[in-house]
Structure 1
């Protein structure tokens, strides 16, 4: 007899290399099926109930996991930021213990640190999926790897330049790309807005183990000539604000423009969306022929489905 085994995704560091590749490969396969006109539905989560709890705004991630759960046969329970008794003083631990007796998967966006999600994950009955925390956006990272796989056939050997704030999407990108072989990731971040030292050290350690390289600079000089993908994110990360009122002046030189893209005519442009045309990227680039940002957004669905299936794996 087989049964489901619940697995948590709080950080990409929680996953083995084989798990990263399996999730990304399955997401890319679902994307190919969709492109071929085949259905992307199934029964892998039939009989399961997936909870979707978002304290912060979301278009792509919330829709992807909700639609993905329904496409895989699960029931759905959704919570807004003010719906749980956490707001009246119930402890995080008690909330997790109760939910784990009613839900099979909890997909949560808190925009806080990961300790709350770790507390919810301190049980084996309910899988917990981090749909964005302050430190990392792991499901975005898996989506990005799925998109690169679909476009290039493999992530191994790619050169990626990330331009913009070292935020949670950048953290996930670094932690994800560093799992592949022969990858070169250059982070070009505004001074004072780089990737956290802890995440950068983790990504560099992983990259060294895989024959890859992760570097960070605070300018756009001397970009590689063989870039495969240029990636940016919005300057105002969801749920955050910047204390320096002059921050836009610091960020302005890091706009992705047509001139920047012309240096690597074969490079694709990626953006996790939402985008603010005229800020982090010009409309000419975002809506131009090199942009795969909306393909990337669609891949959120297929990657979410792959994550959900992985989180509820069958065991003997």
Structure 2
């Protein structure tokens, strides 16, 4: 669902190019809301911002802006990368836990969105139900960014594809294989691949496949770029010819009570040296973190020379800065 917010009058002399005009005022809830060219623009902006940062140059695009950060789920990378990114762009972050807001006492989300819009210039929310993000965006008159829901993790996926492009020099024509639970990470990687021309293979145990409606959306989006989407229960088949191998925890936040049953179901889906014999020799390994070494991935793989997990983590900062610069 695409929401375009009414913008305050620009008091400066800034001239927006057509792509900037398309993105300004938008919510960033799911990758399917954006065209391939719009996502490419954000990735290009992230490249520029990262180079500027490394060269000691400053971009003050959020000067005078205050961004609220709502957390119903705990976080390390999301909180730190957003707070640091806002500060680096000249803005001010305002951290809001569920217990800091009247949401924790039952105030309607619609009221919260309307009230916060009177104080803030943008909102990032990390929560459980995707409907929560949609309802907040529907009632806020300022841009809303999805920092994670149980259905999607768009900021992480876009940072991942930025990292892949850095390492491989391109995106189109590559193959990314995801092994594990068909969760929010799988959903966003599928959509990013479909939009950016990367072939995606997803291997899950039976009963843990990605949401069927999202798979359909991804296949439709892939028609434009020529990307392919494969969903299978066979991890060996999925990793054949893969340039990128990706995995995530078997039990996400809120699924702790399923840990034992999931360990049983996912036993043969560990990313290890034996499985990776079937990938390309120059594969790269990715994980959105936090990771459980010895469960979804063997320690010698995640800590090995072909692992780029910390480059991924760093690039959350630069891509999220690009998102905020583009829409706020």
**Which TM-score bucket, shorter chain as reference?**
over 0.9
Partner residue of 2:311? 295
Report the secondary structure of 2:195's partner residue: coil
What are the Cα deviations for residues 165-218 of structure 1, in whole angstroms up to 9, with x where unaligned? 01101110001110123x321101111111010111111111123211101001
CA contact (8 A) 1:56 1:239 kept: no
Partner residue of 2:123? 106
Within 2, Cα distance between the matches of 1:98 and 1:159?
A: 44
Within 1, Cα distance between the matches of 2:57 and 2:327?
A: 18
Partner residue of 1:74? 91
> Which structure carries more relative contact order (alpha carbon 8 Å, separation 6+)?
1
Alignment partner of 1:2 is 2:10: yes
Report the secondary structure of 1:305's partner residue: helix
Partner residue of 1:148? 164
Within 2, Cα distance between the matches of 1:304 and 1:250?
A: 34
Report the secondary structure of 2:32's partner residue: helix
Alignment of 1:35-46 (within 5 A): 37-39=54-56, 41-46=58-63
Alignment of 1:208-223 (within 5 A): 208-223=223-238
Deviation at 1:245, TM superposition (A): 4.4
CA contact (8 A) 1:162 1:232 kept: yes
Within 2, Cα distance between the matches of 1:244 and 1:101?
A: 42
Within 1, Cα distance between the matches of 2:242 and 2:127?
A: 34
Partner residue of 1:126? 142
Report the secondary structure of 1:165's partner residue: coil
Give TM-score scaled by structure 2 length.
0.89
Match of 2:263 among 243, 248, 267: 248
Alignment partner of 1:19 is 2:38: yes
What are the Cα deviations for residues 27-60 of structure 1, in whole angstroms up to 9, with x where unaligned? 23333455xx413632100010011111111111
Could you list the runs of 5+ residues in structure 2 that have no partner in the other structure? Answer: 1-8, 15-23
Give TM-score scaled by structure 1 length.
0.92
Alignment partner of 1:276 is 2:292: yes
Deviation at 1:242, TM superposition (A): 5.5
Within 2, Cα distance between the matches of 1:240 and 1:224?
A: 27
Deviation at 1:225, TM superposition (A): 4.1
Report the secondary structure of 1:64's partner residue: helix
Within 2, Cα distance between the matches of 1:260 and 1:305?
A: 36
Within 1, Cα distance between the matches of 2:257 and 2:182?
A: 13
Could you list the runs of 5+ residues in structure 1 that have no partner in the other structure? Answer: none
Within 2, Cα distance between the matches of 1:30 and 1:9?
A: 19
CA contact (8 A) 1:53 1:78 kept: yes
Partner residue of 1:65? 82
Indicate the larger mover: 9-18 or 288-297. 9-18
Partner residue of 2:180? 164
Which structure is higher in helix share? 2
Instruction: Tell me the matched-pair count.
Output: 308
Residues 128 and 40 of structure 1: is their aligned pair in 2 closer, same or farther, counting only changes over 3 Å? farther
